[in-house]
Amino acid sequence: MSQKTSVSSGQTTANPLAAGRHGERISTLISSKRAKVDRQIGLELFRDMTLGRRFEDKCAEMYYRGKMFGFVHLYNGQEAVSTGVIGAMKRQHDWFCSTYRDHVHALSAGVPAREVMSELFGKETGCSKGRGGSMHLFSQEHHLLGGFAFIGEGIPIALGAAFTSRYKRDALGDASSNAVTAAFFGDGTCNNGQFFECLNMAQLWQLPILFVVENNKWAIGMAHERATSEPEIWQKAAAFGMAGEEVDGMDVLAVRAATQRAIKRARAGEGPTLLECLTYRFRGHSLADPDELRAEEEKQFWAKRDPLKALEKDLTSESLVRAEELRAIEKEIDAEINDCVEFALAAAEPNPNELTRYIWAED
């Protein structure tokens, strides 16, 4: 069932040995199909990835200026995974479950930047009403099931959403119930019990779920290959008879194609997929992390695989867009980011009289 039908953009980079086994893996992926996109989809992908990158850069600025507090984990470098997966799914129909590194997943799912930024500032206008902060973004309207501070917490929640979709169709006779759930988590989660238990149940009941491993090599400060006996996570799908794929997580067209294959199987009732996206975070684990453990040569290896630059090369080389158009999009997004910061700073604080509201499902 598990196949190494991996996808690579064919990018050339310097010395994969500098990036360790993780770098070797992404440099030797077997070439396969990448998603074909037209001009409109290409621009949408670029815009979504740029929004995620610029949003996170602004969060770093606000944090270091003392305007934003608490734990803040940024997504820089991993944008191709969020955009590639969520962009291939149906907004407000399919479901998404995130981790503590959840800002960009929320934006890709359609949560307005104003609401996400407001939540990071703890304001009433935030998507979690200022109660959640950076690690607990939630939006029922946009089918975002939440960000979770502890690793593995979101996987059973995502499993429940997938079960609901299948139950409505099979037990309640709702033929239109074909929603697929994407559960995002990192390599550090894949030695936890929830991971194995949920893979077993999902395959047993043939649930419509996509398990998305964002393998960025580093679980806080622990290198992935030092912590697990089988670093190739996608191969663990075979133990459950599940479909598994390994993909270049720095290539949005590769991720999109793999996701489309997984969604097709899920909607057809053929069960779940374990998708391992080989990626890399450009910043430290969190904004409080001095990032002193990773070698500069390793960082430079991955910087040369920047997913935004790779997509721009794809779009311009195919004459789908001009570079000037992409620069214009960047300016539009910069204005949007500045607007959401101004909005969040001016927004009202949560009412202290409602301190205990939203603890129970009272509404």
Q: How many CA atoms lie within 13 A of 43 on its CB side?
A: 15
What tens digit of pLDDT does each residue of 241-296 get? 999 999 999 999 999 999 999 999 999 999 999 999 999 999 999 999 999 889 99
Q: What value does the mean pLDDT take over residues 67-74?
A: 93
Tell me how far apart the alpha carbons of residues 185 and 125 are, in angstroms, rounded to a whole number. 27
Banded pLDDT at 10 (limits 50, 70, 90): very low
Residue 172 makes CB contacts below 8 A (sequence gap 6+) with none
What tens digit of pLDDT does each residue of 27-38 get? 888 766 899 999
Phi, psi values for residue 223, rounded to 5°: -65, 135
Banded pLDDT at 361 (limits 50, 70, 90): confident
Phi, psi values for residue 307, rounded to 5°: -65, -30
**Residue 167 token pair:** 């139950």
The region of weakest confidence among 66-70, 247-251, 260-264, 314-318 is: 66-70
What tens digit of pLDDT does each residue of 173-217 get? 999 999 999 999 999 999 999 999 999 999 999 999 999 999 999
**Residues 64, 70, 71, 76: is their CA dihedral positive or negative?**
negative
Nearest to 258 by CA among 318, 212, 215: 212
pLDDT of residue 1: 52
Beta strand pairing call for 209-215 and 222-223: unpaired
What tens digit of pLDDT does each residue of 90-127 get? 999 999 999 999 999 999 999 999 999 999 999 999 99
Q: Residue holding tokens 């690579």?
A: 8
Whether 40 contacts 63, CB under 8 Å: no
Average pLDDT over all residues of the chain = 93
pTM score of the predicted model: 0.94
- The fold of the 17-344 domain, in CATH, is Rossmann fold (3.40.50)
What tens digit of pLDDT does each residue of 147-169 get? 999 999 999 999 999 999 999 99
Coil, strand, or helix at residue 302?
helix
pLDDT of residue 16: 63
Query: With 0-12 CB in 10 A as exposed, 13-18 as middle and 19+ as buried, what is 183?
Result: buried
